[in-house]
Amino acid sequence: MISRPLVVQRVVWLVLAVLTLFTLAILIFILAFISARGARVITPEFLFSLPERMGKEGGILPTLIATIYIAVVAIVVATPFGVGTAVYLTEYTRESALTRIIRFGADALAGVPSIIFGLFGFILFVIRLKMGWSILAGGLTLAVMILPTIIRTSEEAIRAIPYQLREVSYSLGGTRSQTIMRVVLPNALPGILTGVILGLGRSVAETAAVIFTAGSSLRIPRTILDPGRTMAVHFYILAREGLSMERAYGTAFLLIVVILLINTVAYLLMFRLTRRLK
């Protein structure tokens, strides 16, 4: 006879294993589905030439450039604001009504659907601030959208730094800003980077927020004020207008590869950083 606790343990193990496998299976199915249809479309020509006939033929070079361009603008704008807010919340204030309001605001912002951000960006940046459909308007809209993610992950990372490390710095004559710059931020860097990477991933994958703000021009954007079409938007238009499902899957496949690449590079970077600190 097997004892009762052992039976319970085995049943629980089985349930958890099935749940995990199921989750993995969905993920693998999506990846395999898109790879099977998209991978064969990818050729050097597809990557590095201009689209023709609205994307029915030709390549996707402009969308690749616009995607990177917009994501970089979003990250460059959102990171200082996000990290700055996190430092303020953790190092410069005590818990109060104000910090709770800021935190609640950030959480609420994180739950807003991206199309609302798109509408907001369209009204504020495109119309009101007269940026027009542009990389800048799209990047700024995405920056606002990913701000809460960066704030909250940075805040958690900074909070995780033991208070004693700060005390060591103070006890050696360090000012608060020196302590933040030399002890707190360097040690919180891996956590902060995680938030930035999450934000970057969301920027690259976003459709609704950029279609309203960056437009859907298929020309290669040169300055920050040119409009552009990101890969995600390109995929949406190709699929929705029935222009070319083949090319839509090719774009989707590339999008996934780009996101995987960003994540891998970022984690390698983080690994090197943390190893240096340990």
Binding interface with another protein (CB under 8 A): 94, 162, 164-165, 167-175, 178, 182-183, 186-187, 277-278
Phi, psi for 89 (deg, rounded to 5): -65, -35
Query: Closest separation between CB of residue 80 and another protein, Å?
Result: 24
Min. distance of Cβ 79 from another protein in angstroms? Answer: 22
Q: Locate 220 and state its tokens.
A: 């290669």
Instruction: Please state the closest distance from residue 155 (CB atom) to another protein, in A.
Output: 19
What are the phi and psi torsion angles at 18 (to 5°)?
-65, -45
At how many degrees (to 10) do helices 185-205 and 61-87 cross?
Answer: 140
Q: Six-digit token pair at 129?
A: 């601030």
As a whole number of Å, the CA-based R_g of the chain is 23
Q: Residue 174 has which token pair?
A: 């360090």
Nearer to another protein, 132 or 186 (CB): 186
Minimal distance in Å, beta carbon 183 to another protein? 6
Closer to another protein at the Cβ: 91 or 246?
Answer: 91
CA-to-CA distance for 71 and 203, rounded, in angstroms?
5
Query: What distance in Å separates the CA atoms of residue 153 and residue 219, rounded to the nearest whole number?
Result: 36
Q: Which is nearer to another protein, 135 or 188 (CB)?
A: 188
Answer for the pair 65, 47: CB distance below 8 angstroms, yes or no.
Answer: no
Q: How far apart are CA 84 and CA 26, in angstroms?
A: 38
Which one, 44 or 173, has the nearer CB to another protein?
A: 173
> Using the 8-state DSSP alphabet, how is residue 221 labeled?
P
Question: What is the identity of the amino acid at 260?
Answer: L
Cβ 273 to another protein shortest distance, Å: 11
Query: Whole-number minimum distance, CB 194 to another protein, in Å?
Result: 17
Block residue for tokens 């938007």: 233
Nearer to another protein, 53 or 278 (CB): 278
Nearer to another protein, 15 or 165 (CB): 165
